Amino acid sequence: MANELLLKYGCNPNQKPSRIFMKNGGELPVTVLNGKPGYINFLDAFNSWQLVKELKEATGLPAAASFKHVSPAGAAVYVPLPETLKKIYFVDDLELSPIASAYAAARGADRMSSYGDWAALSEVCDKETATLLAREVSDGIIAPGYTEEALAILKTKRKGNYNVVQIDPDYVPEPIEHKDVFGITFEQGRNQLKIGEELLKELPTANKELTEEAKRDLVVSLITLKYTQSNSVCYVKNGQAIGVGAGQQSRVHCTRLAGNKADNWYLRQCPKVLALPFKKDIRRPDRDNTIDVYISDEYLDVLADGAWENFFTEKPEVFTREERRAWLDTMKGVALGSDAFFPFGDNIERAHKSGVEYIAQPGGSIRDDHVIATCDKYGIAMAFTGIRLFHH
């Protein structure tokens, strides 16, 4: 390990010089095993590593994340994947270890956003995970270690330039952190808040029942939010984030953005979508883009100009709004976390449309009574955590 690593440039090519280094003169806790990660790569690497490390500590399960531009496109702990999810994640032809399954779920929830991602694993990267990564478009990976087979596979990716970073899992950062903006140094204590089920004890709603699965999913949502650019909202089901809304100025826009992603995740599981007659030579990213269009009103334009012939062996029927709504109405048991309080009940109204039955948020709004009443209207159980999770 070294004290510093020189980088090609900063966020943009005109921002030089660029490096990462230890101010205290100690050694960096990371080793680059392959490639040459850049400034944004390392921002994604360090944020995503913290997320998966905390998910593993909080749940005891292997965890993975898929990061883009310093926010998670997806995050998940290991829960065995049903065949339908394996199919829509394009991993039904692979052998999946627990950590490979977690990464498949993290990347698969929002495949469009995960295109060109940075992957993070809480466990040693094995052959199964490396095989999955080798055929996806990805910028790099951070993990506490790699098997010889996994490293050999990853070194063949991107013409041998795939970024592979190993981190010391025992590294503990200084309790005070600094950030320079406009030539001025900011200082604050690191957010070392431990997130667990103990934050879910205050339930002001009429429904006070949280299943064990709901508690796990709410914890996953809150830890994901801890490393998501604010404002942020996260929908979770079966141990994986299915919709993350990041960096919005309005909370309801976070809720809508994340809810739309959760809806798309569920719509992709509809039998009508699973049966789409794709041509055999269609690449996975093109399938993702085409499915995204098919489950939206944009498909009418595709039919009108005949572009469907580029992707399908025959013209699929329109997936009507009524059909989509009917399918979405069968989505249940979704958990939702928010990094700050909901100021209005409109967030709950939107969350309900995406099958949300459990919510965790700080509370503390002057309109808490209205938010609680809206939850009670739909039988939603909501916990007030009393903690805010802004991340900038």
How do beta strands 138-143 and 163-167 pair?
parallel
Token pair recorded at residue 41? 């790569």
Token pair recorded at residue 207? 């429904």
Whether 164 contacts 34, CB under 8 Å:
yes
Whether 59 contacts 223, CB under 8 Å:
no
Surface-to-core class of residue 375, CB atoms within 10 Å of its CB (0-12 exposed, 13-18 middle, 19+ buried): buried
Known active-site residue 253: no
The catalytically annotated residue of 53, 56, 68, 127 is 68
CB atoms within 10 A of CB 298: 10
| Helix segments in the chain, DSSP class H | 39-59, 83-88, 98-108, 111-114, 127-134, 148-154, 212-226, 251-267, 271-274, 284-294, 299-305, 321-328, 346-352, 368-378
Known active-site residue 231: yes
The catalytically annotated residue of 41, 47, 231, 347 is 231
Known active-site residue 237: no
Q: Which residues are catalytic?
A: 68-69, 231, 392
